[in-house]
Amino acid sequence: MNFDTQIYAEKAIEMVMSYGPKILLAIVTLFVGSWVIGILGKIFDSGLSKIKFDDTLQPYLVGIATILGKVILYISIVGMLGVQTTSLIAVLGAAGLAIGMALQGSLGNFAGGVLILIFKPIKKGDLIETNGVIGVVESIQPFVTVLLSPDNIVYYIPNGEISSSPIKNYSINQERRVDLTFGISYTDDIDKAKEVFTNVAKACPNALTNIGPDVFVSELADSSVNFAVRPYCKPVHYWDVYIYMLENVKKELDKAGISIPFPQRDVHLHGQK
């Protein structure tokens, strides 16, 4: 019994002497390496901020660089412990392939987010319309884009759907046209009505004075002469101009004695013979 205990003790001492320094070195490397990666990540982040790099793409690059650094660190630590890293890399590659096939949708959304950040069809603060939703871009996350609609509803739209769908970006151009249509009666004065529409558009507080407004007869409809009235404004003032025009055009037409026709139907009753 003493003989067996002595053998086990000798083997334990041998293993400690053999693997102890390697384990100690691996632990030290893990802590020091993690600390160095953290410092380098902060330096990389600070450097991108100094050159005024894109605010949306910057977290992606810093995150990817940090993850790659940690993967290299962990593989190096495993190699210090005597594990064949070539076989480990092959196993990790096979596992990555299996995980990738299982998460095709999520990876597609991640790839869509990368495409959005690279080609920049949208950015934070833009007013866009996509997949039947209109809203301001709150953030572009790795898998989803967050939109805030005008009625204060938050939408999370997968990046894969956004990158593969048409996008209306209302914020790219600095001037936006507000398309409005007003009808007057056939018995009213066209020139007088045109003057009313023009004056209201020019008096609008948020309408641009260096462009437009465009005012012209757009249609001779069944019961009205329709005018296209198109003032221009900054994208952020679109709804302010829209609401102002609707309200004040009605007031000014009433003052000018110009009527806004509405559909009417004449019913003729014939007596029985």
What CATH number does residue 149 fall under? Answer: 2.30.30.60
For residue 7, pLDDT over 70 is answered with no
User: How many other β-carbons are positioned within 10 Å of the β-carbon of residue 77?
Assistant: 19
- What percent of the chain is predicted at pLDDT more than 90? 29
pLDDT given at position 2: 47
Domain with 155 in it: 123-169
Cα 209 to Cα 150, 213, 234, 271, distances in angstroms: 26, 8, 11, 61
Q: What is the mean pLDDT of residues 118-137?
A: 87
Q: Look at residues 142, 169, 196 and tell me which one is the last residue of a structural domain.
A: 169
Euclidean distance between CA atoms 191 and 196, whole angstroms: 9
Identify whether 265 is part of a domain: no
Handedness of CA 227, 233, 235, 236 (dihedral sign): negative
Residues 96 and 6 in one domain: yes
Handedness of CA 214, 215, 219, 222 (dihedral sign): positive
pLDDT averaged over every residue in the chain: 81
Identify whether 26 is part of a domain: yes
Q: What is the mean pLDDT of residues 222-233?
A: 93
Between 228 and 107, name the one with better pLDDT: 228
User: Which SS3 state, helix, strand or coil, does residue 180 take?
Assistant: strand
Euclidean distance between CA atoms 234 and 172, whole angstroms: 11
Q: What is the mean pLDDT of residues 16-37?
A: 78
Euclidean distance between CA atoms 144 and 161, whole angstroms: 9
Residues 91 and 8 in one domain: yes
Identify whether 114 is part of a domain: no
Euclidean distance between CA atoms 193 and 199, whole angstroms: 10
Residues 13 and 91 in one domain: yes
Between 201 and 60, name the one with better pLDDT: 201
pLDDT given at position 84: 66
Between 270 and 126, name the one with better pLDDT: 126
Residues 211 and 129 in one domain: no
Euclidean distance between CA atoms 145 and 67, whole angstroms: 22
For residue 193, pLDDT over 90 is answered with yes
For residue 214, list its beta bridge partners: 230
For residue 27, pLDDT over 70 is answered with yes
Structure tokens belonging to residue 235: 């994208």
Between 106 and 209, name the one with better pLDDT: 209
For residue 269, pLDDT over 80 is answered with no
Identify whether 59 is part of a domain: yes
In the chain, how many domains are there?
3
Residues 94 and 133 in one domain: no
Euclidean distance between CA atoms 67 and 71, whole angstroms: 6
Residues 180 and 156 in one domain: no
Identify whether 181 is part of a domain: yes
